[in-house]
Amino acid sequence: MTAPILDVVSLDVRYGQSQALFGVSLSVAPGTVLAVLGANGAGKSTLARAVSGLVRPAAGTVTFDGRDISRLPAHRVRKLGLTYIPEGRGIFPGLSVIDNLRMAVAQERRADRPQAIDRAIERFPVLGDRRTQRAGSLSGGEQQMLALARALAESPKLVIADEMSLGLAPLVTESVFEGLEAARQEGITIVLSEQFVHRALAMADHCVILTRGQVGWSGPAAEAGQEVIDRYLGEAEAPPPTPAPAAVTAGPP
């Protein structure tokens, strides 16, 4: 078995007196997609923040690419190749699209930066058409493309995408998923937390469902059937609607 690229063991996270995660363990194999699901407040963002160094765990360990990152600050974790796209996008709304991308590649060697920006625009051509536009004036979907383009421009090994489809129309959500799919094709490991449970499961290899800060269920995404979704996610998402039967007209046309 390949060693996991991300291994979380018995993670506890507290915010002051209140505990948000209780002994959470999970592991992610390189090049795979993990869906982290759960109702509002279950701890998905807290898990993402703790793994990416934005919140210090009270107990437990996080190992990334063979290295204990449990106590590393976020900028060091990012440098190691773990990029977090926070819920709410993580772009600079006052800067142009191109300046957002320039900032993302600032860590690269100067000579490599133009190519890194060109690659980012090749992945999301719509950004090329909007180069000089202020990021804050892009549509919601385009802002998410930019967030993803920024993350991928850093050449990460693993991307954590937190609720990227929040507030987006289904069609736009689909293009965000296509962007994530393209990242997976490039071998990037993805951890995604999503409100569109069925869409997330369709893309994921594995799934972890958090319930009140604990792992309620985990297993292959293909085994997270409707029964599991109903049991652990409750009202989080209804099954996709079945098409309405064709209207039956009585009498002669």
**Residues making contact with ligand ATP (CB under 6 A):** 15, 18, 20, 38, 40-46
**Closest C-alpha among 29, 76, 19, 26 to residue 48:** 26
Q: CB of residue 16 vs ligand ATP: minimum separation in angstroms?
A: 7
Q: Name beta bridge partners: 189.
A: 158
Q: Which helix (DSSP H) or strand (DSSP E) does residue 139 occupy?
A: none
Q: CB of residue 43 vs ligand ATP: minimum separation in angstroms?
A: 4
- 149 burial class (0-12, 13-18, 19+ CB within 10 angstroms)? buried
Q: CB of residue 20 vs ligand ATP: minimum separation in angstroms?
A: 4
Helix (H/G/I), strand (E/B), else coil: 82: strand
Q: For ligand ATP, which is the closer residue by CB, 22 or 64?
A: 22
Q: CB of residue 40 vs ligand ATP: minimum separation in angstroms?
A: 4
- Residue/partner pairs of 245-253 with CB below 8 Å, 24 or more apart: none
Structure-token pair, residue 106: 């600032």
Q: CB of residue 141 vs ligand ATP: minimum separation in angstroms?
A: 20
Amino acid at 173: T
Q: For ligand ATP, which is the closer residue by CB, 15 or 231?
A: 15
Q: For ligand ATP, which is the closer residue by CB, 15 or 137?
A: 15
Q: For ligand ATP, which is the closer residue by CB, 42 or 138?
A: 42
Q: At what angle do helices 97-104 and 140-153 cross, to 10 degrees?
A: 30
Q: For ligand ATP, which is the closer residue by CB, 15 or 115?
A: 15
Q: For ligand ATP, which is the closer residue by CB, 42 or 91?
A: 42
Q: CB of residue 214 vs ligand ATP: minimum separation in angstroms?
A: 11
Structure-token pair, residue 39: 């109702």
Structure-token pair, residue 239: 């099954």
End-to-end Cα, the chain, rounded Å: 65
